[in-house]
Every structure is written in C-alpha cells, then in structure tokens.
Amino acid sequence: MTEPVLELDGLIAGYGDTTVLQGISLSVPKGQRVAIIGRNGVGKTTLLATIMGLTRQHAGSLRFQGQDLRTVPPHRRSHLGLGLVPQTRDIFPSLSVEENLIAGMRGDATLDEAYALFPRLKERRRNGGGQLSGGEQQMLAIARTLMGRPSLLMLDEPLEGLAPVICDQLMETFEQLADDGRHTILLVEQHTDLALRFAEHVVILDAGSVVHSGPAAALRLDPTIVERHVGIGLPTGV
C-alpha cells in the first residue's frame, strides 16, 4: 500500500461554533482518484474547505504528507501542495485570462502548460475573466489552481451547470491529470455516474459523516449502495 498523502482522523469542523463535519476519518494514498458524493448539504464542500484550511477545525487531526495542518493557514497549505478549485470558481473577472493564470503561478509553472491542457484558454488569453463562458471560466479556475503546482488537487463540483460536451472534455482532462503521476485528486461531484467512472475510491457523506468508503468498482457493481445513501439511481453502463 502506498503511503497516505492525506490522513483525516476523527475530524470535526465547521463554521464558527457550528460543526458540520462530525468526525471524519479518511486515508488517501498518493496518486489515488477519490470521488466524494452525497446529497445536497451533507458537508462535501465543507470537507474540501476544511482540508484547505478555510473553516474552523474543532477536533481530530488532519495530516498532509505526514504534517499536522491544524495551525497551518490556507496560503501555507497551498505552498505545501494543496490546491482547491472552489465551486464558486473565484476567477478575477476584470483580469485577462493570462493575468489570472499569472496570479496563480508558482515555481516553474508556465503559461504554455496551461494552454497545452486547455487550448481554448490560449485563444481567449487576452479576454477578461468575466467575458468567458461558464465552461471557459471553469477551465481557467482549474488552470489557475494548477499554476500553483498542487500535488493534492481538490475539485468542488467542477461540472456544475456545464453542457454535456464540456463535462466530457473536463473529465478527460481530469483523467490526464490523474495519469501524469503528479496528482492525487479529490473530486466532489453531483454527476455521480461520471464521478464513479473516474474514481478508484468513493467516499459517501451523509449529515457530516462518512457512511460509505470503498472501491469505486464495488459501487459500479452494486448501485444500490449509492441509491441508498444518495437517493438516486445510476444510469446503466456506468
């Protein structure tokens, strides 16, 4: 078994005094593709935000590459190799595509890398972030996070509101990133079928707790587990 890159043990966290995550334990090996699924409001975004240091950790532990992150602020976490593409995308609308990418750049990251991954961004490089389509904005949000050279890439509902053809393109990009040997990926996604096809391991959350954690292959064989916890059926052929 590969060394875990991320380890959560009894993690309780939330907003101010409110707790949302009710004792999450999770161990993610380096290079694994993990899908985090669950109904609306069960704490998926809060889990990613907590790993990034954006919420209040009340109890339990959170370790990245063996280091306890409890007192490490978000900007330091991104220096350590954590990268979050938030659901809100958070690009700078008044900056051009190129300026957005430069703002996220660290180390030896180059614009050419971003443009190789998303040729569309090269075509739009002089356009303002606010002038982009939803799909282009998501590409920019992902590319900007990658400019920070994360080894743990967290994607919060990256397909939300996007046309099926763009969803397919983005899923191909995630496959590419997972296969390049440099990224461990946590994917929060409402498109459960796509998430299960992508993932090696699936975590199902309900009311701030892990109610299932196991290989994606088992869920593909037995969709009733997903139906029970997420309340939806999977299309056939997943």
Ligand X SMILES: Nc1ncnc2c1ncn2[C@@H]1O[C@H](COP(=O)(O)OP(=O)(O)OP(=O)(O)O)[C@@H](O)[C@H]1O
Q: Which is nearer to ligand X, 46 or 57 (CB)?
A: 46
Nearer to ligand X, 84 or 114 (CB): 84
Min CB(14)–ligand X separation in Å? 7
Contact 153, 177 (CB under 8 A): yes
Q: At what angle do helices 134-146 and 164-179 cross, to 10 degrees?
A: 10
Interacting residues with ligand X (CB under 6 A): 15, 18, 20, 38, 40-46
Nearer to ligand X, 6 or 121 (CB): 6
| Nearest distance in Å: CB 119, ligand X | 30
CA distances from 161 to 9, 33, 227 (A): 33, 23, 23
Closest separation in Å from C-beta 62 to ligand X: 16
Which H or E run contains 204? strand 201-206
- Least CB distance to ligand X at residue 53 (A): 14
Residue (54 or 105) nearer to ligand X, CB: 54
Tokens of 145: 């996070």
Number of residues that make up the chain: 238
Cα R_g (the chain), whole angstroms: 17
Q: Give Cα 223 to chain centroid, integer Å.
A: 23
The SS3 assignment for 11 reads strand
Q: CB 22 → ligand X: shortest distance, Å?
A: 11
Distance CA 120, CA 142 (A): 13
